[in-house]
Amino acid sequence: MSNNIIGKGTLIKGNVETTSNIRLEGKLVGDLKTKAKLALGENALVEGNIYAQNAEIAGTVSGHVEVFDLLILKASAKIKGDIQTSKLIIESGAHFNGSCKMIGEIKQSTTAQLNGIDEPAKQKATA
C-alpha cells in the first residue's frame, strides 16, 4: 500500500479519493475519501467532508466527518461539523462543534461513500 502526502503550503480545490493512507499538511477545499488512514496535520485545513477507515485529526475541519473505525481528535483539532464513527478518542484541548453519532458498525453511509473509490486492479495468478 502506498502513502500519499499533501505538504504544507499546498492548496487543492476539488475532491481527493484514494485507497491508500494519506497525510494532509496543506489545505483542501473539497471532500476527502480514503479506504485507509487519514492523518491531518496541526496546520492542515479541510473545507469539505471527510470519509475514512481511520483518522487522526490535529488540524481544522469544516464539514462532516465519517470514520468507519477509529477517529482520534488530537489536542489541536478543531471540528466544525457532525461526526459519525464507531470509536472516538478526544484529547483534552480539542474543539468540536456539532453532533456526534456513534454506531458499533457503520455500514450504510460510510461504506457507500468509500465504495465509490476504485480498488487497484488485482493481478490473478495462473497455476
Question: To the nearest whole number, what is the mean pLDDT of the chain?
Answer: 87
Give the pLDDT confidence score for residue 122 in this predicted structure: 41
**Residue 110 pLDDT exceeds 80:** no
Q: What residues does 11 pair with on adjacent strands?
A: 27
Take residue 92 and report the three cell numbers written for it.
483534552
* Domain range summary for the chain, segments of one domain joined by +: 3-115
Q: Tell me which H or E stretch contains 87.
A: strand 83-90
pLDDT at 2: 77
pLDDT of residue 103: 81
In whole angstroms, give the CA distance from residue 109 to residue 44. Answer: 25
**Cα 76 to Cα 116: distance, rounded to the nearest angstrom:** 31
Kindly report, residue by residue over 23-74, the tens digit of the pLDDT: 999 999 999 999 999 999 999 999 999 999 999 999 999 999 999 999 999 9
pTM, 2 dp? 0.82
Q: Is residue 126's pLDDT more than 50?
A: no
Query: Which amino acid is present at 63?
Result: G
Which has the higher per-residue pLDDT, 5 or 121?
A: 5
